[in-house]
């Protein structure tokens, strides 16, 4: 009698173990799939942190209406390094490709101080920063109050998924993207500086840090 009971108990234990193994197989598979789903797919947290650190934004209001909203990211050495690293990871670049790309970017950076600018406004015709007869002016003020004018303001006509991934504040349906370049050394290293957008509609001032 006792042996039969022990035998049945052993059988139940074996069945329970087998059931647990069968249940764990799809569970492990599901957990693996979920881990793949939540794994970072886009730009890294390191890049997003650098983007937040070097981006400023402000809106221009008039009579309870938003006339314009501006975002500007200064491409500092720290930001460029984080951006290059994120790009290399996303496109699985080789060490040689990374080195070549870094050299090209650093050479370009030595020729100007650059901002990525996005401006949205209800009046699309007024969003004309790149035009020779624009109603806007852009000035950079260094820590001593000296004013610098851009050497180039160029509109980015083709706003790709790459642009919106690296600059998620961009909405190509509501505004325009520009690259704004100042003479090298206009932005003081390790010191405050300001970017001013000013015109007949008003002014927007962005300050770093």
Residues 71-109 have pLDDT tens digits of: 999 999 999 999 999 999 999 999 999 999 888 888 888
Which two three-digit tokens encode residue 208? Answer: 């770093």
d(CA 56, CA 43): 19
Cα–chain center distance at 18: 50
Q: Give the ranges where 39-160 is alpha helix by DSSP (H).
A: 45-54, 77-90, 95-109
133 and 178 housed in the same domain:
yes
12 and 83 housed in the same domain:
no
21 and 97 housed in the same domain:
no
119 and 67 housed in the same domain:
yes
13 and 104 housed in the same domain:
no
Q: Which residues constitute the domain of residue 164?
A: 45-208
Count of the separate structural domains present in the chain: 2
25 and 66 housed in the same domain:
no
28 and 93 housed in the same domain:
no
**pLDDT tens readout for residues 118-169:** 999 999 999 999 999 999 999 999 999 999 999 999 999 999 999 999 999 9
151 and 124 housed in the same domain:
yes
Mean pLDDT, range 164-177, rounded to an integer = 97
Which two three-digit tokens encode residue 17? Answer: 């173990």
DSSP 3-state of 139: strand
**pLDDT tens readout for residues 26-83:** 444 433 443 343 345 678 999 999 999 999 999 999 877 899 999 999 999 999 999 9
């Amino acid at each position: 009698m006792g042996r039969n009971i022990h035998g049945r108990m052993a059988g139940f234990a074996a069945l329970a173990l087998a059931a647990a193994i069968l249940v764990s197989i799809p569970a492990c598979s599901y957990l693996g799939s979920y881990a793949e789903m939540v794994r970072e797919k886009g730009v890294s947290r390191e890049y997003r942190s650098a983007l937040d650190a070097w981006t400023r934004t402000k809106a221009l209001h008039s009579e309870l209406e938003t006339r314009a909203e501006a975002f500007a990211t200064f491409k500092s050495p720290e930001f460029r390094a984080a951006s290059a690293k994120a790009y290399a990871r996303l496109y699985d670049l080789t060490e040689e490709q990374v080195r070549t790309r870094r050299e090209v970017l650093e050479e370009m950076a030595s020729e100007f101080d650059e901002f990525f600018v996005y401006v949205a406004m209800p009046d699309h015709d007024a969003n004309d920063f790149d035009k020779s007869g624009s109603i806007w002016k852009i000035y950079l003020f260094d820590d001593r109050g000296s004013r610098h004018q851009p050497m180039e303001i160029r509109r980015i006509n083709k706003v790709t998924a790459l642009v919106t991934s690296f600059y998620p504040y961009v909405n190509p349906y509501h505004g325009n993207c520009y690259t704004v370049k100042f003479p090298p050394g206009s932005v003081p290293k390790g010191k405050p500086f300001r970017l001013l957008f000013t015109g007949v509609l008003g002014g927007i001032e962005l300050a770093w840090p």
